[in-house]
Amino acid sequence: MGRWEPDARERLVRAALDLFSEQGYENTAVAQIAERAGLTKSTFFRHFRDKREVLFGGQDVLADLMTGAIAAAPADARPLEVIEAALVATAVTFTDERRAHGPQRLEVIASNDELRERSALKMVGFAIAMTDALKQRGVPELDAAVAAELGVLAFNRGYERWLETGGDFVEVARRTLGEVREAVASLEAAE
């Protein structure tokens, strides 16, 4: 494949994931990823800041989609209805390409302490962004934080379910958030 071909980003992702799986994340260099993809190291850096970004790129886009949906939700919507809108808004990023790479991406992350920590920080970032957006709507701080954390839980579980079953992420996210809400209700009933 020539260096000029338009699928450079996809080639870099595939090469990185394959190398991470074969020899470990920590044993893989950017130069190896570029070489495996048939590209140059400078092409890699045009698409990614570092090799972690192959796994975690797009976090800002997701956070922007979430907070934009929270801001745009109807004024009378309850916090968890607003969180549902935030999860639904992320569906545009859940493409067939993302689904194809998802299981391998999760395996690579699970195999490395640094990557697991980075993944957890990503989720904290989502929770903070959603909490702040809810507070801007006038939701009390504790209520906003709880709703955001439940949203992150539903997002994570929904993503894993979507990787396993496919289908429409909107429906998966709604169903998963419904299950989270039922779990909260059952906890309250058990007291």
Write down the domain spans for the chain. 8-52, 58-190
Cα–Cα distance for residue pair 135/112, rounded to 1 Å: 35
Domain 8-52 has CATH 1.10.10.10: no
Report which DSSP code applies to 49.
Answer: S
Residue range 45-75, pLDDT digits in tens = 999 999 999 998 888 999 999 999 999 999 9
Tokens of 170: 């909107």
Q: What is the pLDDT of residues 81-98, one digit of tens each?
A: 999 999 999 999 998 888
The CATH number assigned to the domain with range 58-190 reads 1.10.357.10
- Rounded to the nearest 10 degrees, the angle between the axes of helix 59-72 and helix 113-136 is 20
In CATH terms, are 8-52 and 58-190 the same topology?
no
Write down the pLDDT at residue 3: 47
Answer yes or no: pTM beyond 0.75: yes
Q: Which residues of 16-41 are buried (b: 16+ CB within 10 A; e: fewer)?
A: bbebbeeeebeebebebbbebbebee
Integer CA distances (angstroms), 32 to 37, 40, 44, 104, 127, in order: 9, 10, 10, 18, 35
Q: Output the CA torsion sign for 112, 146, 79, 138.
A: negative
Residue type, 181: R
Residue 74 tokens read as 């109807």
Q: ∠ CA(62), CA(65), CA(66), 5° rounding?
A: 85
Does residue 4 surpass a pLDDT of 60?
no
Q: State how far the Cα of 172 lies from the Cα of 155, in Å rounded to an integer.
A: 9
pLDDT digits (tens, 9 = 90+) for 139-179: 999 999 999 999 999 999 999 999 999 889 999 999 999 99
**φ/ψ of residue 82, rounded to 5:** -70, -40
